[in-house]
Every structure is written in C-alpha cells, then in structure tokens.
Amino acid sequence: MSTRVIIERMGAGGDGIAATAAGSAYVPFSLPGEVANVALENGRATMMALLEPSPERVAPSCRHFEECGGCTLQHWQDSAYQEWKRSLVQDALGGRGLVFKLDPLVPCLPETRRRTVFAVRTSERGAVLGFNRHLSHELIDIAECPITVPEIVSRLDDLRDLVAVLGGGMKPFKLTVTSTASGLDITASGCGAPDAAKRQALTALVIKKGFARLSFEGEIIVEPRKPLVHFGKVPVFLPPGGFLQATADAEEAMCDLVTAHLAKAKKTLDLFCGSGTFAFRIAEKSSVHAVENDQGAVAAIDRSVRYVQGLKPVSVERRDLFRRPFLARELAPFNGLVFDPPRAGAEAQAIEIAKSSVSKVAAVSCNPVTLARDLSILVKGGYKIDRVVPIDQFLWSSHVEAVALLSKK
C-alpha cells in the first residue's frame, strides 16, 4: 500500500523528510517540494512514484545512481545542493549558539576523488567491485564512478582481477584504492591473510598490472614503487593504509586557509597531523611540532624531513591525543596550532586548548556536529571564531568538511 506525501525539507543525512500520520518519514532520492507515492516501513520510505518533481531536479551523472549507494544527491541542481550542504555547517554551529562568519561553500568537481573504498567479493560469475546499495548490504557492481579520478576508474577491471586472486570466498571485504604519483596504492582488509601461494600470485599480478603497492591490513605484500604524494614542496611516501585527504583540491583549499591564518606564528603545533598534510606547508614559514598516534605516519614525516632542505625545523612525536592530550602548560611555547581529528572530534584536547594562551588556532573537521562541540569549548575559553569555511570534499553525499579559524587576545 502506498501513501501520498509531500517532501517538506532535506534531512542532514541527505534524505527528504515528509510528514505522515505515523510521524516523519525519510524518503531517499527525493527533493524538497516534491510530491510522491511511497511505501512506508518503520519511518523509512521507498519511493514508488514521483508525482510532482522539483524544478531543482536534474539528470544524474551516473548510470548507477539510486542503485549504488555511493552517492545520494546527484539529482539535485548545483546551487541548491551547495546551499543545503553549507547549511549543515550553519545549523550544527548555530545550534550551539556560536557567533561566526560562514563563508560560501568551496565546491568540489567531479572526477577528483583520489581515495576510494570499494566493497568487493568473489562470485560464481567472477569478481564484483563497487558499493553497497543505499541502506543495504547488497553489493552493486559498477562500470563507472563520476566522482573518482580517471586513474582509478580506468583500472576497475584490473582491480577485479586482483580481487579474484585475493579471494575471500563469497564474503564481502574492502579494497581501499589511492591514486598517487607512483601509481595505485591498494589496501585489502577483511578477506583473510593470504598464504604463501597466494602472496606469490598477488606479487606477480601487481607487477604485471603496474600497481605501486598492495598491502593487507597494514602489512605490505608487494611494493614495486613506494606510493608518493606531495605536501606542498615536500615529497612524502605514504605508509600502508595511511590517511590522505579525499581530493587534492580540497586539501589545497584547507591548507591555504590554515597557513594564512597561522602565517605570523613563530612556533606551531600540528595535532592529529597524519603524514604531514599541514605540517610541511606550515614549515615553509615557521617551526612545527607534529603529533600523531599512527606509527607509520610518524615515520613518514621523520623520513621526509631528513631529505628536504629549505624548511624551518620540523619535529615529530607519536602520541595518543585522545588518551593523552597536550595539556595547557605544554601548549605555552606555541603561538599557532592546527588540529584535524577523526569524526569523533577532539573534546579532551579542546578543553586544554581553551585553557591555553595560543593566539591563533585552526580547527579542521569532517563532522560539523563534533566541530560545533569543540568550538563551543574554545569559545567558552576565550577564543573568538574569526571565520568558518565549508568545503565540499565529499561530492553528492551528506558529508562536508569545514575549517574554523579562531583567535585569542
């Protein structure tokens, strides 16, 4: 039985929200103002017929849209989509009562995502590589992906050949593929450790296909070439499974904002520094102490520093900032600070920063909700939010990056 609904607004997860007799219903792949017949089940709805489409509805860019769950918003006109995505940051921070200047959204172009996590498995008909259907565990095999760089998309069949050798039975597993200057860096997880015979076969295939590296849950299986990226002027060899911003354009936009804000700092602290995304760019003008818990990332920074000239001093420290945040007294030598934590944010660290006298702080986040919480802590500690810039690093999804710039007199 279907129910006629009107989509009233877009939810934070990218689904349209409609009012029904049973309460609010979430309607995937709908837009505000649309009228549709839907099948309802436990607050979620499946669109059965679109009766009145929105004038903001456009033709999707990908043949797999609505089938593959990789994108949820390809059908929305650019300006309306971008304003909604900007509102995710506005609403999260405004909900905390924060006062700030919100910049326009920095857009993301198609074919720019350089790091993709595929769902894969083997089947009786061969290897399947793609993404899970929206809100489902069903794996959809793909032939294209308009958000991903051509260097990855053009190798989908080669990646399927790799999946076939990795095996794993019928159970799905993950294949993280990163495009680097040296070629594709591939990490498999969830498929079981390969035995000696399989390692030999994988080595031969990786060399034949010209991949840069294959690793399994952090262990290198074969590495014909070290995966190379550049952070500013500094070449860095990524550790296996190492974090890299999803698009190079978004990384540049974030780094330009952070380095400009911290330009007058003489000594800067980079917390949750990864393999040096911000640290090496900041080091062109000031000394940097970079802190990260991942040993591979720490080693990558330390190795790169040894072979690069023309930078201010860069020191590195391995430290779990969730368990042992930098205390206010440890922050005293620094007059600039940037932190870029995982989605959980950095509540404990924000509490210590709020007690400090660091004059310039840049907060980078992929989660507006935890960013709002952390910024409210800093504001209560005397910081002023100078500017917040939303960045659409995750095109056609409900995720958004943001950079907040703060100062304290």
Active site residues: 366
Within 8 A by CB and 6+ apart from 180, the residues are 212, 227, 228, 229, 238
DSSP at 15: -
Q: Choose among 135, 186, 128, 183: nearest CA to 160.
A: 128
Largest CA distance in the chain: 69
Phi, psi of 295 (to 5 degrees): -65, -40
Tokens at residue 121, please? 């498995």
Q: Is-contact 7 391, C-beta < 8 A? A: no
Q: At what angle do helices 347-355 and 368-380 cross, to 10 degrees?
A: 20
Strand 314-318 and strand 287-292: pairing? parallel
Dist CA 242 CA 308 (whole Å):
21
Within 8 A by CB and 6+ apart from 313, the residues are 283, 287, 288
- Give the helix, strand, coil percentages of the chain, each rounded to 5: 25, 35, 40
Strand 3-10 and strand 115-123: pairing? unpaired
DSSP at 120: E
Phi, psi of 229 (to 5 degrees): -130, 165
The H or E element that residue 330 is part of is helix 328-331
CB 188: neighbour CB atoms within 10 A?
A: 23
Q: Is-contact 28 10, C-beta < 8 A? A: no
Dist CA 86 CA 315 (whole Å):
36
